[in-house]
Amino acid sequence: MSSNHSKRLWMYAQMVKSRHFEDMIKPAYFEGKTPVFNMAKGPLPGEMHLSDGQEPCAVGVCAHLRADDTVTATHRPHHIAIAKGVDLNAMAAEIFGKKDGLAGGRGGHMHLFDPAVNFSCSGIIAQGMGPAVGAAMAAKMQGSDAVAVAFLGEGAANQGAFHESLNLASVWQAPVVFVIEDNSYGISVPKTACTAVASNVERAAGYAMPGHNVRNNDPDGVYEAAGIAIDRARSGSGPSLIEIETSRLEGHFMGDPEGYRPKDEVKRLQERDPIPAYRARLVTEGFDQMELDRAEREARELVDQAFSFARGNEYPEPKEAFDHVFA
Amino acid sequence: MSSNHSKRLWMYAQMVKSRHFEDMIKPAYFEGKTPVFNMAKGPLPGEMHLSDGQEPCAVGVCAHLRADDTVTATHRPHHIAIAKGVDLNAMAAEIFGKKDGLAGGRGGHMHLFDPAVNFSCSGIIAQGMGPAVGAAMAAKMQGSDAVAVAFLGEGAANQGAFHESLNLASVWQAPVVFVIEDNSYGISVPKTACTAVASNVERAAGYAMPGHNVRNNDPDGVYEAAGIAIDRARSGSGPSLIEIETSRLEGHFMGDPEGYRPKDEVKRLQERDPIPAYRARLVTEGFDQMELDRAEREARELVDQAFSFARGNEYPEPKEAFDHVFA
Amino acid sequence: MSLPDATVEKPASERRLTIAKAMSEAIGQEMERDSTVLVMGEDIGKMGGVFGTTTGLFEKFGKDRVRDTPISETAFIGAAVGMAASGMRPVVELMFVDFFGVCMDAIYNLAAKQSYFSGGKVSCPMVLMTSVGGGYGDAGQHSQCLYATFGHLPGMKVVIPSNAHDAKGLMLSAIRDDNPVIFMFHKALQGMGWLGTVAGSINDTPEREYCVPIGKASVVREGSDITIVGLGATVHQALAAAKKLDDTGIDAEIVDLRTIAPLDRKTILASVAKTGRLLVVDDDYLSFGIGSEIIATVCEALPAPLKYPPQRMAHPDIPIPFTPVMEHFLLPDAGKIESRVIAMMGEKT
Amino acid sequence: MSLPDATVEKPASERRLTIAKAMSEAIGQEMERDSTVLVMGEDIGKMGGVFGTTTGLFEKFGKDRVRDTPISETAFIGAAVGMAASGMRPVVELMFVDFFGVCMDAIYNLAAKQSYFSGGKVSCPMVLMTSVGGGYGDAGQHSQCLYATFGHLPGMKVVIPSNAHDAKGLMLSAIRDDNPVIFMFHKALQGMGWLGTVAGSINDTPEREYCVPIGKASVVREGSDITIVGLGATVHQALAAAKKLDDTGIDAEIVDLRTIAPLDRKTILASVAKTGRLLVVDDDYLSFGIGSEIIATVCEALPAPLKYPPQRMAHPDIPIPFTPVMEHFLLPDAGKIESRVIAMMGEKT
Ligand SMILES: Cc1ncc(C[n+]2csc(CCOP(=O)(O)OP(=O)(O)O)c2C)c(N)n1
Ligand SMILES: Cc1ncc(C[n+]2csc(CCOP(=O)(O)OP(=O)(O)O)c2C)c(N)n1
Ligand SMILES: [Mg+2]
Ligand SMILES: [Mg+2]
């Protein structure tokens, strides 16, 4: 791994980019929502699910993906969208509900579609899994070696779609990889209170597919496991399941008072924030601080530009709501 | 096992009763449907799913059950209903759509409800599993040691409800047992073509519950595995999964031309018909032929009486269709 | 099961609750009264429900009777059906009605048909509470109402309170009902601070037990010129519009449906027979919706023609867009109701 | 995508097919023409579909393009959505519409909203074919129509052929459409010997490719006294009733909806404007149903009052009972239509 300099630099930069994206959202989200927090108000109404802390999952997987590989993500999609290369300006504009957003403002933060890089996401738990199997099968039938990756939370692993999709993928030997971002919580419910097994990789055997567990929210660990799984898929050997032990540094959605979390938990998790930790590792392993600084700066600049673009962009005409219901 | 004379005699008698029930249905079903088979016609319209060959699953499990234990069955319910002790007259009358049927003719063969013995069934694949978990939890909350058993086919084990119900039962330590009747087919699709694993018990580990595989369609084997699982549930130690390798001696439904089955398969299965096989074993192990004959005769008589009752019973008034939509 | 309908009495004192508080109070009172009542759903334990429907119940009744579930709607709603068949009275939460697509079978093929398939021998006393409605920018999978989706399928009762008083009384009725009751609460009325709340939904809600009967609409404003039929959030929009219309001399009568199955056709017909004009306002999709059913009901039954063709206002037949400029353009509101009514007072047919 | 609508031409020769054969022929022709078309579903491989919708396709196109699936509707319909987003045109079978409750999310939240959520950048060209209807004693979980359930939710087109000719033309249109199309075929019309078949559904079906346009109703009988609107099976009941009514001097016009989303309101309105009377007949549940929508459409739009209040006939709002004495009592049929029409010709309003 340590030899793979450019990939690691890319992963680091994408993590920084993703985190900066969320950091830009935070104040914007609260604009117009104070003094009394009201989700309906401000430039970013509705639920907002941030991915702070989960960046390693996105970058370690997407480092192996091409534009023609498909990714389906969840209600918590920003880090994955960014790592998959979704157009940053159009993504920011979409989240602000603007005219030049990915969908002209129709989709919003839980419905980001960018066909240029085959990315999409959905707000219904585990329901992106079937489409990922389908995209994988489409590639297979078209004679391409493209693969598909479905991301899901550990809470989603108890939804029926999980079972059906893993079985179907295995029976059809679909070139797909299922990636569980295990952040220990489904909103307020801890994994231990709702999942019969300690680790969801124990379920992989029930679908005759390999399961990989990645500990410590480690980008290099994700990269390695994803490499094995994606190579397997690309070479026509079938699906895999990956479970990544990650951490949710924010509330389930913005404004979540998190009364269900032990008081010091977030603090402890923040101390293990994967981004500074990865930077420290890279430095220890010989990366040039200035190179890292430059990558960070460039990543942040792109995000800043995207937010400027989004803010400056107009709202669509209301009556355009009637467009695109049908193709 | 061999010491358990009366249980085995009971199991044998119930298998005979169930088979005779199906044998009585066969000619009745084709009444009015010839010369051109039309499912809508005759005294037994609609789909008819016979359980010939699957009797060991029903009797081996129900031999351990009390009236206050709950059973949820499937679209193929007769053998299970009979073994659970559903009122035979009312069951036959229901299948004939008559006034004194279990539901006055409203339910029909896929919707048999007998609260006296806590039996019900549903025509939607795997959808009886959640209710079984609920019934088990109700008993647990009420301080009773009653248990629940959900029957399902091996095809149903690929439905999302399977996954969700097993996980929920395990998390809640529900006193429930899931019994897969593996007859190798879901309508026309062989298990091997749609299930990622060779045996569904391989999936039990994914829910941290014991899995038992019973081979050779063996009533004593079912009895033994079910005994362990039901004791476990009754004593508060949680759920189990049982998979029984059984055989479907008839078509998926009556009238099924079975073009998808190898020509000689049914013949081979019939040679291993569990009912004569069990009788032969009982005789070998010292059961009195006359005792078995008597049990057979009594079982058949009850069925004959039930069919006479059903045929003699009136149809309900059409306008009674409006009754019981609400409690 | 036959407590007095408090809507017909004068309230003893002012005790203003939000719908969320009214719901959790009702559930808590029933849990105290009847040990077979329990609550299940995602995040309804320690968190008290994402929309506050179970606030305080976990602390009071503990984890056996206030059960957090996995994200497994098929299994836990199915389990509720099994519990209901076995002597319990579960109250289950489907967090957003938009998620019905992962679990509808347990609702409409199991719960709703249990009584019928058993010839009345097995009942299904369960409440499914679920949040509906948009207007706060949560986009197309978290903002739907789907009233008609539930109203169309037989065997369940469907209630939609527009205020805390009715929410409490309908919840008590729902829990005591021996049938599956779908309890749809509108996010814009819920009284969760973070969602904003229409003030009119917070009203006097007696502490004592009382039932609001299922299947009875309520005339929340009497008037002579036009009948506006609404439910949930649109009742308040209609009330605001009526106030403005009053200034211009138009006297609108407003019917709050409260229940859509069974539908109180009598109250609607009586009102329209009196006013001669009908506007139905809802925030569900337009076609095959609330408006269709009510207009058909009226036109089938009323002998004299109306003074103006009956009208409906609803979310058009398109997915709900995220961006507020589009979302608010599509949803009904007081201003739109006002102008539609003014148009309907013109040229008679 | 713009082949001529064969309904307007005179058929070249008599080539009578069942709906089942027409469907499988249409799918086969499209699979031959377009390598991105494939079929998936339970028992659609070797078995050719429980209702014969894929007969012969497995033998012709092999297991990669004619895929038997596990009993996993959520996964395989979800997979179809993913395929449709990735350049394929899947035709998927949901064996009975009654099973929608286990997989509706993939249909209405994914397939139906893919175009909208992507601002038109990702389409969802897929066909979901599913059997509907009862009358043959299959009881309450295998006999429903659920037309309005699908019609109510935006983003999908919904077609319901009443005969083989239309079934083939609608299937071609559906496969070529870039949107999700729900293709509901009625078991009583399917032409599977074992289900019986209404003779009128077997009609001349050209071998060549032709499209019947989605969204266009068809006036299958012209008349002057009353408009009877039907779809699927009820079209044939209406036709039989009209024949009898003709003897008594009543001249009924019959509209076969063929599509309920988008609904061809123009054709309905033109017919009712002409006849002045409206009866809607369908075999789905009554409330929030086809009849409600069509009556509302007519009453909202038509300036002159009708000669008789608009009426609807449908399955009442109760689960479908098994016993034939009850089931046939509840379902519409020619005799019931005839007497209802006679009643509607009496005293005008
Ligand atoms: C079918 C369905 N049920 C419930 C929800 C509500 N919901 C949204 S996010 C969430 C928790 C998801 O937990 P997990 O899968 O672990 O993802 P995380 O939020 O931790 O990223 C829930 C229950 C939903 N969106 N869809
Ligand atoms: C959700 C759902 N999908 C499909 C069906 C149609 N169907 C009825 S029986 C059956 C096969 C079931 O196979 P299995 O579970 O193995 O039971 P068996 O018939 O072999 O007893 C299918 C697909 C259904 N009833 N419900
Ligand atoms: Mg999580
Ligand atoms: Mg089977």
| Tens of pLDDT, residues D4-44 | 444 444 445 689 999 999 999 999 999 999 999 999 999 99
Asked if the model's pLDDT at residue D65 lies above 60, the reply is yes
Chain B / chain C CB contacts < 8 angstroms: 154
pLDDT at D305: 87
Residue in A10, A20, A93 with CA at minimum distance from that of residue A301: A20
Side-chain half-sphere of C5: how many Cα atoms within 13 Å?
9
Q: How far is CA C113 from CA A253, C10, C107, D239, in A?
A: 37, 39, 9, 33
Reported as a single tens digit per residue, the pLDDT across D94-145 is 999 999 999 999 999 999 999 999 999 999 999 999 999 999 999 999 999 9
Is D77 an interface residue toward A (CB < 8 Å)?
Answer: yes
Query: What phi-psi label fits residue B317: left (phi over 0), alpha (psi between -120 and 50 degrees) or beta?
Result: beta
pLDDT at C115: 98
H/E/C letters for each residue in chain A? CCCCHHHHHHHHHHHHHHHHHHHHHHHHHHCCCCCCCCCCCCCCCCCCCCCCCCHHHHHHHHCCCCCCCEEEECCCCHHHHHHHCCCHHHHHHHHCCCCCCCCCCCCCCCCCCECCCCEEECCCCCCCHHHHHHHHHHHHHCCCCCCEEEEEECCHHHCHHHHHHHHHHHHCCCCEEEEEEECCEECCEEHHHHCCCCCHHHHHHHHCCCEEEECCCCHHHHHHHHHHHHHHHHCCCCCEEEEEECCCCCCCCCCCCCCCCCCCHHHHHHHCCHHHHHHHHHHHCCCCHHHHHHHHHHHHHHHHHHHHHHHHCCCCCHHHHHCCCCC
Asked if the model's pLDDT at residue A1 lies above 70, the reply is no
Does residue D52 sit in helix, strand or coil? Answer: coil
pLDDT at C49: 97
Contact across the interface for B108 and D322, Cβ inside 8 Å: yes
**D neighbour chains, 3+ CB pairs within 8 Å:** A, B, C
Contact across the interface for D287 and C152, Cβ inside 8 Å: yes
Average pLDDT over residues C204-211: 97
**Quick count: other Cβ atoms within 10 Å of Cβ C41?**
27
Q: Going by CA atoms, what residue is nearest to atom 5 of ligand 2?
A: B125
Residue in B142, B111, B7, B122 with CA at minimum distance from that of residue B74: B122
Q: What is the mean pLDDT of chain C?
A: 95
| C125 confidence band (pLDDT: 50, 70, 90) | very high
Ligand 2 atom nearest to CA at B159: 1
pLDDT at C304: 84
Asked if the model's pLDDT at residue A182 lies above 80, the reply is yes
Residues of chain A found within 8 Å of residue C50, distances taken between Cβ atoms? 187
Looking at this protein, which amino acid is placed at residue C40? M
Side-chain half-sphere of B78: how many Cα atoms within 13 Å?
28
Low-confidence ranges of chain B (pLDDT < 50): none
Average pLDDT over residues D196-208: 94
- The predicted complex's ipTM stands at 0.97
> Residue C255 — φ and ψ, nearest 5°?
-105, 125
**Quick count: other Cβ atoms within 10 Å of Cβ A300?**
18
Average pLDDT over residues C206-211: 97
CA distance A178 to A240: 6
Mention every residue, 6+ apart, whose C-beta is less than 8 A from residue B227.
B64
Task: List, in sequence order, every residue forming a beta bridge with D254; answer none if it has no partner.
Answer: D221, D228
CA distance A269 to C245: 57
For residue B24 the two structure tokens come to 């009585």
Assess contact for D215 and D259: CB atoms under 8 A.
yes
pLDDT at D2: 34
CA distance D177 to D179: 5
Q: How far is the CA of C253 from the centre of ligand 3 (A)?
A: 49
Q: How far is CA C257 from CA A27, B136, C17, C218, C226, in A?
A: 41, 38, 21, 6, 16
Which percentage of chain C shows pLDDT scores above 90? 92
Could you confirm whether domain B5-314 is CATH 1.20.120.1200? no
| D347 confidence band (pLDDT: 50, 70, 90) | low
Does residue C40 sit in helix, strand or coil? Answer: strand
CA distance B52 to B278: 14
CATH class of C218-345: alpha beta
Q: What is the largest CA-CA distance in chain B?
A: 57
pLDDT at B229: 98
Looking at this protein, which amino acid is placed at residue D54? T
Residue in B98, B179, B169 with CA at minimum distance from that of residue B135: B169
DSSP category for residue B200: G
CA distance A38 to C136: 9
pTM over 0.90: yes
Ligand 1 environment, Cβ below 6 A = A 75-76, 123-125, 153-156, 183, 185-187, 248, 252; C 42, 71, 73, 95, 99, 102
Residues of chain B found within 8 Å of residue C117, distances taken between Cβ atoms? 103, 106-107, 111, 113
Asked if the model's pLDDT at residue A56 lies above 90, the reply is yes
Assess contact for D196 and B40: CB atoms under 8 A.
yes
Nearest chain D residue to C322 by CA distance is D117
To the nearest 10 degrees (0 to 180), the angle between helices D19-33 and D164-176 is 30
**Distance, CA of D337 to chain centre:** 20
For residue D26 the two structure tokens come to 């249409």
pLDDT at A180: 99
pLDDT at C12: 53
Reported as a single tens digit per residue, the pLDDT across D88-97 is 999 999 999 9
Ligand 2 atom nearest to CA at D141: 25
Reported as a single tens digit per residue, the pLDDT across B96-154 is 999 999 999 999 999 999 999 999 999 999 999 999 999 999 999 999 999 999 999 99
Is A163 an interface residue toward B (CB < 8 Å)?
Answer: yes
Asked if the model's pLDDT at residue C348 lies above 60, the reply is no
pLDDT at B34: 82
Residues of chain A found within 8 Å of residue C322, distances taken between Cβ atoms? 46, 94, 97, 105-109, 111
Domain residue spans of chain B: 5-314
Residue C186 bears catalytic tag? no
Which percentage of chain D shows pLDDT scores above 90? 92
| D196 confidence band (pLDDT: 50, 70, 90) | confident
pLDDT at D8: 43
Reported as a single tens digit per residue, the pLDDT across D274-318 is 999 999 999 999 999 999 999 999 999 988 889 999 999 999 999
Domain residue spans of chain C: 16-204, 218-345
pLDDT at A171: 98
Is B163 an interface residue toward A (CB < 8 Å)?
Answer: yes
First to last CA, chain D: 47
Look up the CATH superfamily of C16-204. Answer: Thiamin diphosphate (ThDP)-binding fold, Pyr/PP domains (3.40.50.970)
Instruction: Determine how β-strand A211-214 pairs with β-strand D181-186.
Output: unpaired
Contact across the interface for D296 and C300, Cβ inside 8 Å: no
Average pLDDT over residues A274-295: 98
DSSP D7-18: GGSPPSS--EE-
DSSP category for residue D205: -
Total length of chain B = 327
pLDDT at D137: 97
Nearest chain D residue to A174 by CA distance is D79
Reported as a single tens digit per residue, the pLDDT across C242-259 is 999 999 999 999 999 999
CA distance C193 to B199: 52
For residue B302 the two structure tokens come to 């009850």
Asked if the model's pLDDT at residue C2 lies above 60, the reply is no
Which class for D132: exposed (0-12), middle (13-18), buried (19 or more C-beta within 10 A)?
buried
> Is there a shared CATH topology between the C16-204 domain and the C218-345 domain?
yes
| A247 confidence band (pLDDT: 50, 70, 90) | very high
Which class for C251: exposed (0-12), middle (13-18), buried (19 or more C-beta within 10 A)?
middle
Q: How far is CA A23 from CA A28, A30, A41, A300, in A?
A: 9, 12, 19, 10
Average pLDDT over residues A272-280: 98
- The residues of D carrying an active-site annotation are 142
Nearest chain A residue to C324 by CA distance is A97
What distance in Å separates residue C183's CA from the closest CA in chain A? 21
Contact across the interface for A106 and C326, Cβ inside 8 Å: yes
Mention every residue, 6+ apart, whose C-beta is less than 8 A from residue C215.
C157, C259, C262, C263, C264
| A35 confidence band (pLDDT: 50, 70, 90) | confident
What dihedral angle (degrees, nearest 10) is formed by the CA atoms of D63, D65, D66, D67?
A: 70
CA distance D92 to D95: 9
Q: How far is the CA of B156 from the centre of ligand 2 (A)?
A: 6
Asked if the model's pLDDT at residue D194 lies above 90, the reply is no
